[in-house]
């Protein structure tokens, strides 16, 4: 099984409004509720690809109960195992307000429950027990209040100690600290990469992230696809056309593509093609953690992967 870690799980609410007006009052016509947090989205895409996934992280309160109920009712839930660790605080909500006039989304993210040192210790124990059964582990998203900023560095080291390949998908200081523990793959988007390396030129920034500790860097370029730098080579993968739709969750689908390719021992160009096709196919889906299977099948052979110069 593939283990996904989501320390800041969420109940994701999507509100569709005919037009979002600042300082206006809106009657929501349609409310969608989904189990959320990046690692949960990754796990749901993995399940849809036929992989067994175990999800861990924190869960608590009535919103936590809601999250677990949504997770057990999600498509592909027979391939998903809930190994979330209970905490005293309440799981956060995120609200995505979709403006139907423009298709744009305004995102409101609650901070999440405060995690106590005892809860963090309980998580580390659970994580240590799950690792030996994992073929790969993904560490995803932001840290809830109370979790040490070096949390991902700790989790990366544990995974490496257990011989389990580890992918890190976060941003800012937690990413910077995590890099130093030498994860197998990091998957920042170009803004996150610029934030930690100080350069927005993708190839240069990806090389810099490798220098800081990542074995391979797979940088999301948004609608332009993905750039990867490994110790031996560099590639760029581009979708056949820019797709319009909801980009929420596209990055999580890309992580599922990279991880599934890793455990299937695909060559890097094939992992990249899968990540880019899944990402594009999820832009067509209405909610994060899902993708349009027909679009994926159609897009996969059309992704163009090109070699990039490895050295500066």
Residues tagged active-site: 252
The H or E element that residue 30 is part of is strand 30-36
Contacts 24+ apart (CB under 8 A), 117-121: 117/146, 119/58, 119/85, 119/87, 119/88, 119/146, 120/146, 120/147, 120/148, 120/151
CB of residue 28 to a second copy, shortest distance in Å? 5
Give the 3-state secondary structure of residue 157.
Answer: helix
Smallest separation, CB 2 to a second copy (Å): 27
CB atoms within 10 A of CB 213: 18
Interaction site with a second copy (CB under 8 A): 13, 15, 17, 20-29, 31, 62-63, 65-66, 93, 95, 97, 99, 102, 104-111
| Closer residue to a second copy in complex, CB, 70/162 | 70
Q: What is the CA radius of gyration of the chain?
A: 18
C-beta closer to a second copy: residue 67 or 237: 67
* CA distance readout (Å), 246 to 2, 27, 102, 275, 293: 26, 21, 11, 17, 16
Residue 4 or 142 with smaller CB distance to a second copy: 142
Q: CB of residue 62 vs a second copy: minimum separation in angstroms?
A: 5
Q: How far is the CB of 36 from a second copy (least distance, A)?
A: 14
Least Å distance between CB 15 and a second copy? Answer: 6
Select 148 or 247, whichever has its Cβ closest to a second copy.
Answer: 247
d(CA 50, CA 52): 7
C-alpha dihedral sign at 113, 116, 121, 122: negative
| Residue with smaller CB distance to a second copy, 24 or 163 | 24
């Amino acid at each position: 099984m593939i283990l996904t870690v989501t320390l800041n799980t969420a109940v994701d609410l999507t509100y569709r409004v005919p037009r979002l007006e600042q300082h206006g009052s809106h009657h929501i016509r349609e409310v969608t509720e989904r189990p959320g947090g990046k690692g949960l989205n990754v796990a749901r895409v993995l399940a849809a690809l036929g992989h067994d996934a175990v999800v861990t992280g924190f869960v608590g309160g009535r919103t936590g109960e809601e999250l677990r109920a949504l997770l057990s009712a999600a498509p592909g839930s027979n391939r998903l195992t809930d190994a979330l660790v209970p905490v005293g605080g309440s799981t956060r909500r995120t609200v995505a307000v979709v403006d139907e006039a423009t298709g744009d989304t305004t995102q409101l993210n609650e901070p999440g429950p405060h995690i106590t040192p005892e809860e963090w210790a309980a998580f580390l124990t659970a994580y240590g027990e799950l690792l030996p059964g994992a073929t790969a582990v993904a560490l995803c998203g932001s840290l809830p209040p109370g979790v040490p900023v070096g949390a991902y560095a700790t989790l990366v080291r544990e995974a490496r100690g257990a011989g389990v390949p580890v992918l890190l998908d976060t941003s800012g200081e937690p990413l910077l600290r995590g890099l130093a523990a030498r994860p197998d793959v990091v998957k920042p988007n170009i803004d996150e990469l610029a934030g930690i390396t100080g350069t927005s030129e993708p190839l240069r920034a990806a090389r810099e992230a490798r220098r800081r500790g990542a074995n391979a860097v797979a940088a999301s370029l948004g609608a332009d696809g993905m750039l990867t730098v490994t110790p031996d080579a560099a590639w760029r993968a581009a979708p056949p056309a820019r797709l319009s739709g909801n980009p929420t969750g596209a990055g999580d689908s890309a992580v599922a593509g990279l991880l599934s390719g890793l455990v299937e021992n695909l060559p890097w160009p094939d992992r990249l093609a899968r990540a880019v096709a899944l990402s594009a196919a999820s832009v067509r889906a209405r909610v994060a953690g899902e993708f349009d299977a027909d679009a994926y099948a159609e897009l996969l052979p059309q992704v163009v992967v090109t070699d990039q110069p490895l050295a500066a």
